Each structure stands twice: as C-alpha cells, then as structure tokens.
Amino acid sequence: MGARFVRLDRLKVGKDYPVRVMGVINLSDESFFRGSIVGDPAELEKVVLQVDEDGADLIDVGGASTAPARVYGTSEISVEEELERIGVAIPKIRKLTSLPISIDTVHAPVAERAIGLGVSIVNDISGLQNDSQMAEIVAAKQVPVILMANCGAPCRSLKDAVESLKRSITIAKKAGIDEEYIIVDPGIGFGKLPEVDFALIRGLGQFLSLGQPLCVGVSRKAFIGALLEQPDPTDRLTGTIAATSIAVANGADIIRAHDVTEARLAARVGESLRQSGDGP
C-alpha cells in the first residue's frame, strides 16, 4: 500500500487502514450504467439511504457522465446543467447521510460549488489537466483530491498511465496541494484497450510506488464485457466482483463501486489475499 494516508473527513485511507468502498450516485441520464442513474427526488432518497445501509464508506456524486462517447455514445452536457444537477441533489444527499461525499467532475466551477454545498473530496478524472483553475480551487479549499491518470487520449500502456499521474502530482504540488491531500487512480476504462486495463490491474504496485493512496474503479466496465462477451453493463457484476478482489489484493485502498454490498465482500477477500506473514 502507499506510504502515506489521506484523511477523508473522519476516514483515514491508505497505509494499514481498511479498504474503503465508494458508492456511486450518478445524476446524469447519459451515464453508461443505467442502474446507477438517479432521477427524481424520491428515488434519490431511496438510493442514498440504501448506499449508506449497504455499508459504503463514502459517496461519489457525478453531475455529468465521464464515460467515453466513442465507447458508450454518451452525450456532453454544459457546465451550467452540471451545476444545476448538483445544486439540487447535493443538499438533499447531505441531509440524508453523514458519509463523506466526493464530487466527480473535471470543471472547477462545479467543484467549487459542490464544496460550498458540503462536499469534502474532489474526484477529477482529468488529473487536474482539464481545467487550469481546478488545482487552485482544491488548494484554496484544502480538500483531498483524487487524481486519475489522463494521457489526453486513452493511455496505451501501464508506463503511460504512471507518467501521467506523475505530471498530475506535479501540477497539484505546484498549486500548493499537500501530499497528504492526494489520492491517485490508474484510470481503468475510459476507452482503453482491454489488455491495457488488465495490465493496469496487474501492475497496481507501480502506482503504489508514487507514495499515495490508490483508488480503483473497475465496476461494470468495458474490459469485463470484452472478456466475458457481455456488451450490456447490467450483466457484468460477476466479473466486477472478481476484478475487485484482485485489485484489492494488488493494493487498492479505495474501491469505487456501483454495487456496494458486493464490493465490500470482494474487498474483504482481496484484503485477506494480500495479508503478509506465513499464516497459521
């Protein structure tokens, strides 16, 4: 695991702390997995309470889909619409749960607004490389940030992803973001070739060498569908559980999941597999 830990409100992530499960709530109709999309307020309340009851350690809220259009045909929305979605939903979520909340966005105005509404983590899939103001916002607000590997186009190798994260960490530090606020994400999915995604999971140790806690998202992604011949993300739960256990065994500190109960169980298996010592 990483040499450092990050505090997410009352949670500590990294080092020898338990693996944390981040439950996903998508406010975006264009998201690739229809089962994660929350529409009306009554449904939002039900989903938030269920995610909490299922044992999530934190919640990741997205106002716009980050799934690649060339893979899933997702449509792009305006920053204004993203702001409107989170402006309505986050106050409701904040009233329903005491779990830490992260905002999944690449836009600084959305991150700033979400933090003002009670969000305590920024999850930027661009690794601070999309919006030049994002690093400044994170530094000024002194909140943890999840930096995902971003090669401009889909990363073509494990080395590319690691180098991308090194650039993102440099951007963060130059903006004044302390190492104790940085979590890294190898960026599994997002239009990569399946063999690259498998290489990233096998090579998670190289991301741990960056010295930061590691967040991994494999939930229902296309590499599972390609391997198991399951074009519909709804069918990919079994493959997700398997990939989750392996990711945790290889060092993941946070698992981003659509299916919280299953992710928690899979993470327990993964943690057991990576325990040191000769056993009984």
Q: Is position 221 annotated as part of the catalytic site?
A: yes
Catalytic residue among 256, 264, 268, 274: 256
Q: Give, to the nearest 10 degrees, the angle between helix 194-202 and helix 158-175.
A: 70
Catalytic residue among 20, 221, 236, 264: 221
Q: Is position 256 annotated as part of the catalytic site?
A: yes
Sorted by sequence, the CB contacts under 8 Å of residue 165 that are 6+ apart come out as 127, 147, 149, 184, 186, 207, 210
Cβ(8)–Cβ(121) below 8 Å? yes
Beta bridge partners of 145: 122, 182
- Residues classed as catalytic: 221, 256
